[in-house]
Amino acid sequence: MSTPDFFRSRLDSMIDLRHPLAVLATRVSWGSIEATLAPLFERPSRDGRVSEAVDLFGVSSLELAGGVSAAGRPRLPVRLMVGLLYLKHAYNESDDSVCERWAQDVYFQFFCGEEYFQPRLPCDPTNLVRFRQALGEAGVEELLAATIAAAVQMKAVKPVELERVIVDTTVQEKAIAYPTDSRLLEVARARLVQLAQRAGLALKQTYEREGKRLRRRAGGYAHAKQFRRLRRVLKRQRTVLGRLLRDIERKLSGAPDERRTQLRVWLERAWRICRQRPKDKNKLYALHAPEVECIGKGKARQPYEFGVKVSLAITEKHGLIVGARAFPGNPYDGHTLAEQLEQSSILLQDLPGTPQPKTVLVDLGFRGVDSEVSSVQLIHRGKHKTLTSTQRRWLKRRQAIEPIIGHVKHDHGMRRCSLKGQPAMRYTRCCVLPGYNLRWLLRAIVRLGLRSVFFILASLHWLANVTLQPALARHSHFRRADSRLPTGRTLGLARYAN
């Protein structure tokens, strides 16, 4: 508890402590989160090194001491940054908007551990970027485990319910344009010209005007379904890109070392685009995002999705997310089940009783993997004749994961990943799920009628004033002014009398 400040308003006297966000602020185990994440943000210890210095007497060796440096700005509180990440994905905000909303919303500030109202931004939005990078995927999984532990602690989910889960896969799309061949060829040509000019290479020809003209012709022929003419345009685009690639490779030795290394990476990707054909496998679908896969989920409105496959695991009864993993390479759904159950077991290992998934409800995409997950009971529609009446009743809940996938995508930011690289996609997938669980906990608080610890204490004080004071006043030895109970207004709790 900090020193009282008489010139600022305390948040617990400004807000309704029965608000779900205020109740949840007292239910989350912030101490365990800080203890788990603190090692990730410790300053690294550097070894000492020997440096040569030149003075009037010649060259001398100077040994620089190592150790942990105390220089630099101290880090922001872990609870503040973790709370901002929770709120960002719970309410589908951006880094900038969640900081602006925090400066205006007293409940956001109370949830993040503030005691007094702060009419300023909590941090620069770029601090959230650096915090995510330092947090990593393992740290974000700790945030997901904290939400599960909070649900068990509030008795919103019984530990026995965690033994029966529903697993399904979806696709987290990458923020890329639809990968047509003509567009990929033109983007590769324009990008290589730009990089070569930055490296100081004098190209024989850039094909700038012809490239734009070919791109427009390809779009018109595709729209008119004149595929023979379209194939001729694509052949010319590949010829242009191949000439440009060979010209850059001949003159690559004259570029600086840093530019040369960067150019080699882009040359390799451009050659893949130049040589790939429509029916090839392992195609490159985006020049700047080679990790993107083409995944077909059998949807009539969207036959193909471009991103990475993601597996989700939820509880069968209440729909709390207890695990999520990304699987690059577009594997078969059934081959992802063992790793998904392994992650869920790790997230649940610190709960009381150590519940582990024992029954898994899946769709027909997980057939034929019973031997890989022999430790659990796999239930799907293909086993309908051999299931008991209880298991058939459980199987009717299998579809409950579909609306949860929709909410996670549309309400919590997992629909499209705008961050760069495959680690960023794994972070986005992991971090939006604690945001969903946070909203789930807020609904559970309303459903169960839970109250904050502060509100319970306030109610007890008010009850003592209302019920005991009139009874004690009837006795003569309690009528003196110095023996009366303190009133609710004296305790600052009069607003709870209504």
Minimum mean pLDDT among 184-188, 241-245, 325-329: which range?
A: 325-329
Residue 25 lies in a domain: no
Asked whether residue 195 falls in the same domain as residue 167, the answer is: no
Shared-domain flag, residues 263 and 299:
no
Coarse DSSP helix, strand, coil percentages of the chain, rounded to the nearest 5 percent: 55, 10, 35
Chain segment 338-395, per-residue pLDDT in tens: 999 999 999 999 888 888 999 999 999 999 899 999 889 999 999 989 999 999 999 9
Asked if residue 4 belongs to a domain, the reply is: no
Number of domains the chain is built from: 3
**b vs e for 312-340, b when ≥16 Cβ sit within 10 Å of the residue's Cβ?**
bbbbbbbbbbbbbbbbeeeeebbebbeeb
Last residue of a domain, one of 405, 434, 463: 434
Report H helices in 91-124: 95-104, 106-111
The CATH number given to whatever domain includes residue 306 is 3.30.420
Q: Is 80 exceeded by the pLDDT of residue 487?
A: no
Q: Among 222-236, 383-397, 484-498, whose mean pLDDT is lowest?
A: 484-498
On whether residue 265 sits in a domain, the answer given is yes
- Do 317 and 393 lie in one domain? The reply is yes
Give the C-alpha distances (Å, rounded to integers) separating 402 from 172, 341, 358, 405, 427.
Answer: 14, 19, 21, 5, 22
- Residue 45 scores a pLDDT above 80: no
Amino acid at 122: P
Predicted local confidence at residue 223, as pLDDT: 95
d(CA 476, CA 472): 9
Whether residues 209 and 168 fall in one domain:
no
pLDDT of residue 82: 93
CB 132 within 8 A of CB 98: no
Strand partners, 55: 58
What is the span of the domain harbouring residue 407? 156-176+292-434
In a domain, 187, yes or no: yes
Q: For 161-173, write each residue's pLDDT tens digit.
A: 999 999 999 998 8
* Percent of the chain's residues with pLDDT above 70: 82
Domain boundary among the residues 250, 275, 300 is at: 275
Tell me which of 407 and 278 has the higher pLDDT: 407
Q: Are residues 185 and 303 in the same domain?
A: no
Please indicate, yes or no, if residue 280 is contained in any of the structural domains: no
User: 3-12, 184-193, 277-286 — which is least confidently predicted?
Assistant: 3-12
Q: Evaluate if residue 62 carries a pLDDT over 70.
A: no
Q: Are residues 308 and 239 in the same domain?
A: no
pLDDT of residue 474: 46
Say whether both 360 and 421 belong to one domain: yes
Q: How confident is the model at residue 181 (pLDDT cuts 50, 70, 90)?
A: very high
Asked if residue 462 is part of any domain, the answer here is: yes
Per mean pLDDT, which range of 131-145, 247-261, 463-477 is the poorest? 463-477
Looking at the structure, tell me whether residues 220 and 312 fall in a common domain. Answer: no
Same domain, 254 and 319: no
Q: Is 116 within the bounds of a domain?
A: no
pLDDT band at 429 (very low <50, low <70, confident <90, very high): low
pLDDT band of residue 301 (cuts 50, 70, 90) is: confident
What pLDDT was estimated at residue 69?
65
Question: Per-residue pLDDT tens for 123-149?
Answer: 999 999 889 888 888 888 899 999 999
The pLDDT, as a whole number, for residue 468 is 44
Residues 330 and 407 in one domain: yes
What's the token pair of residue 90?
A: 């719970």
* pLDDT tens digits, 70-125: 667 778 899 999 999 999 999 999 999 999 999 999 999 999 999 999 989 999 99
Task: Classify residue 120: in a domain, yes or no.
Answer: no
pLDDT tens-digit profile of 186-201? 999 999 999 999 999 9
pLDDT of residue 450: 78
- Nearest Cα to Cα of residue 50 among 34, 28, 65: 65
Boundary residue ending a domain (434, 468, 483): 434
CA max distance for the chain: 108
| Same domain for 333 and 418 | yes
Residues 430 and 296 occupy one common structural domain: yes
| First-last CA distance in the chain | 29
| Mean of per-residue pLDDT scores for the chain | 84
Higher pLDDT, 175 or 218: 218
Looking at residue 453, its pLDDT comes to 59
Q: How many CB atoms lie within 10 A of CB 250?
A: 11
